[in-house]
Structure formats: structure tokens, C-alpha cells
Amino acid sequence: MASTERQRKEAGLRRLALVGFGVLLVLLFVGIAIAEGLGDPDIPSGAVAIVEDAPEGTGTITQEQFDRAFVQAAAAAQIKPVPKPGSEQYDGVKETALGELFDAIWLQGQAAEMGYTASPGEVAAELKKLKAQSFQSEKEYNEFLKEAHYNKADVLKRVKIQILSKKIQEQIQGDAPEPSSGEIEDFYEETKSTQYTTPESRDIRIVVNKDKSKVEAAKAALVKEDSVENWEKVAKKYSSDPATKNKGGLQSGLSEGGVAEPLNGAVFAAKQGDLEGPLKESRGFVIFEVVKIAPEKVQSLEEADSAIESQLSEQMAQQDFARFLRNYNGTWGSRTFCAPEYTIERCANFKGDGRSPEANPACYEANPEEPAEACPAPVLQVKPAMPGSVSVLTPEGEQLAQRPVPIEAEAAAPEGLELPPGVEAAPEGN
């Protein structure tokens, strides 16, 4: 098969197999666990998982449905042959297959609770559009279905879920709050010096040379005639700086701190038009003249208002979406229960080993070599915002995990500040 045809088919696979909203949910999913033995429902015979309170006819994932999703997940990952239980790739494909099945149920359930449906007409129109975008002919589309192990019902279901997920996203985006004039002004004041202020800049002409006598000869020549034409001659003759010697020594748009000391301080202390130096610096000796000063420019609130409003609106929409995801995952994760051999992190009855997948394995050794601060806490911790750290720029604040008070922190506490009753400082070194 030609490369372009293969790319079109892979694009089709991505479009038809993708549950766009569901993918975000998987990425942002936080595993939810419940206490052992507290009301876990029984998984019916012939089923691998159930989702409580799902729309009628969708809440049970049968072995047949899982087997079909497993083959499709392997095809999407281009894994051949389909992995067997116990093989290296089996668990990854199993998790992908279950995730897609959960996404389908969760999204349909969420859409139903929000009052959204996808009519047969909507599904047919969306499928027609996707086919036109991804395939050049009906034959190519049918070849794709065969390779992906999809039938017509699979495709219609995926397109339906895609429509529902889009409607959910649109409502979330539509419900996102807009920044007030006060929030816009606060943001402007907090960021004015960094985002809306153009610092003073200076254009200079310089001659650089390790030989001080040559720099002094250049200065003597420029004292006699301080013109652009003479700078061009003098810099070409005496300067060893390749960046400026053929440009009359011109170095444009210097902001304070843009060159090394002591040249930086001398340049920003000099008056325009004065020939300064020789000055000793890392490259040798320098003479310079400030030929132009562009003063600091501050963009007004009125000028910045529109850009700030757009930035804050996007930021608020992202925060609103993140809050929705947390609630969504918490709700539907707590309703999802899996048979023992099919239990993954997205199942409410998942029982992890308490080990963070991001942590160095050495953290869990009897005498870990990793420093304590590099290892995660043995239990999940609440991360409140540090007092005074919440602002328009950082609405979540600076979040630090709660932990025992180090003994050195207690010693450094302001006079009169005592630890709460029953709270002891951690031993030194913890």
C-alpha cells in the first residue's frame, strides 16, 4: 500500500477511534480507591465490569465486548499478533481496551445527565463528514474497517460518542466565567513590569581590541572627527569585534544587563554623545559612545485590556474544565467496578500498592539511596495554598504538601508562634 494511502487510513483510524474528550479524561484521571469490602457490587457472570447509574443497556461490559475492544486496541497500536495473557504487551492493550469501553459508557452517562442526545441524523451527517475527510473512496473506507476490526455498529457508536463529547465540551466552555474589570486591572498591575513594560534601550558604537594602544589610537581619531563615516573607518581598522567592526562599531537595542560588566554599567551611566573609555573588560579594552537612547515605554491598561481579557478568559476556562474533570472522574470512577483479572486504576475497586509510578524504585527499598525529599509521601496529602500566594496570576496559589514541621523551621518561627496542640516538630533530618 502506498505511503499516502496508509497515512489517510491512519488518519481515519485516529478520527473514528478517538473519543476526544475521553482521551483528556484518561490523561487527567486521578485513580480513585474505596475501602475494602464496602459494598462492592457483584460482577455478573460473563461480564468483566459494570458501571452503576449508566444509561439503560450500557452499564455492563461483557466478555464479548471486551474481547472485541481488545482486538481493536491491538490493531490501533499496530500490534501483531494480538497479545495473549501473560505476554509483555497484554496488560497495556488490556488497559487501553477497558479505557475505551469506560469512556463510551461514562460519556453517554454524563451526556444523559446533562440532557444531551445524538440523533441518528446527527450521527449519519458526522460520519459522512469524517469519511470525506479521511478516505478517497468507499473501498478505502471498507479496507480501513477491515484493518481496524470495526463493523458498522462500532463506527456509529464511536461517532455518537464523539458528538456527545463535543456537546459536553461546548457547554463547559459556554459556562466558563468571564474576568471582571477588577480582575483585569489586578492582572495588569501584577504583570505590568514584566509583560507591558519595554525597558530603556541604547544603541552604542564600540571599538574592541586586546591591545590598549590600538584602542587609544582609535579614540584619538574619533576625538578629531566623531562622525558615522569616521566610526566606520576607525572600527574597521582598529576593532577586533567581528559582530560590529564592519558596521561602524554599531550595537543596537541594548537593554540593561544585555552586556557583561563593567561595560553594562558604564553604558547605562554614560550620556548620549560622550566618547567613553578605554575600559578594561573580558575581550580586552573598549571605547564606546551612546548614540541613541530609547526611553522605557509602559503600555497603558486601556491598550492592554483586550489582550488581558482574552488571556484571563482562557485561563478561567481551563480551570473550569479542570474542575469539571475532577468531578466527572470522581463520580464515574466511583461507579465503575471490575472483575479481579480486569481491575485497572480507573475501577473503584482498584487497590494499588501505594507506589507512585513516577518515583525512583530505590524509594521503596529498606534503606533508600534517594534523598527523602525526592521520594513521594507514603500517603496522598492535601496540598493547600500557602497564605498570600493566591492571586490573579496564580489562582491555585503555591501548593505545598502538608508535612511534619521540621525542627529547624520551629526554631526559625517568629517569637510567640507555637505549634498546635499534639503536633510535634519532625526529628532533625526528616
Q: Burial level of 142, CB count in 10 A (0-12/13-18/19+)?
A: exposed
What region does 46 belong to: left with phi over 0, alpha with psi -120 to 50, or beta? left
Which contiguous run of DSSP H or E holds residue 5?
A: helix 3-17
**Cβ proximity of 225 and 177 under 8 Å:** no
Any idea which of 220-224, 325-329, 397-401 has the lowest mean pLDDT? 397-401
Question: Quick check: helix, strand or coil at residue 382?
Answer: coil
Q: Tell me the C-alpha to C-alpha distance, in Å, between residue 364 and each of 103, 184, 344, 355.
A: 33, 47, 22, 8
Q: Assign 3-class secondary structure to 215-251.
A: HHHHHHHHHHCCCHHHHHHHHHHHCCCCCCHHHCCEE
The dihedral sign for the CA sequence 288, 292, 293, 294: negative
Q: Mind listing the pLDDT tens digit for each residue in 119-171? A: 999 999 999 999 999 999 999 999 999 999 999 999 999 999 999 999 999 99
Q: Quote the pLDDT of residue 115.
A: 96
Which contiguous run of DSSP H or E holds residue 303?
A: helix 301-333
Residue 26 has pLDDT above 50, yes or no: no
Q: Mind listing the pLDDT tens digit for each residue in 239-278? A: 999 999 999 999 999 999 989 999 999 999 999 999 999 9
pLDDT band at 200 (very low <50, low <70, confident <90, very high): very high
Instruction: Give rounded-to-5 percent helix, strand, coil for the chain.
Output: 50, 10, 40
Q: Which long-range contacts (C-beta less than 8 Å, at least 24 apart) are formed by 315-318? A: 315/395, 316/176, 316/177, 316/178, 316/179, 317/173, 317/176
Question: Quick check: helix, strand or coil at residue 255?
Answer: strand
pLDDT band at 36 (very low <50, low <70, confident <90, very high): very low
Any idea which of 24-33, 197-206, 408-417 has the lowest mean pLDDT? 24-33
Model-level pTM?
0.65
Q: Quote the pLDDT of residue 340.
A: 94
DSSP 94-124: HHHHHHHHHHHHHHHHHHHHHT----HHHHH
Q: Mind listing the pLDDT tens digit for each residue in 351-395? A: 877 777 667 777 777 776 656 666 766 555 556 666 666 555 555
**Cβ proximity of 101 and 95 under 8 Å:** no
Distance CA 270, CA 251 (A): 15
**E-state strands within 74-200:** 197-198
What single letter denotes the amino acid at residue 278? P
**Cβ proximity of 288 and 206 under 8 Å:** yes
- pLDDT, the chain, mean: 84
Q: Quote the pLDDT of residue 277.
A: 95
Q: List the grid coordinates of 304.
A: 492592554
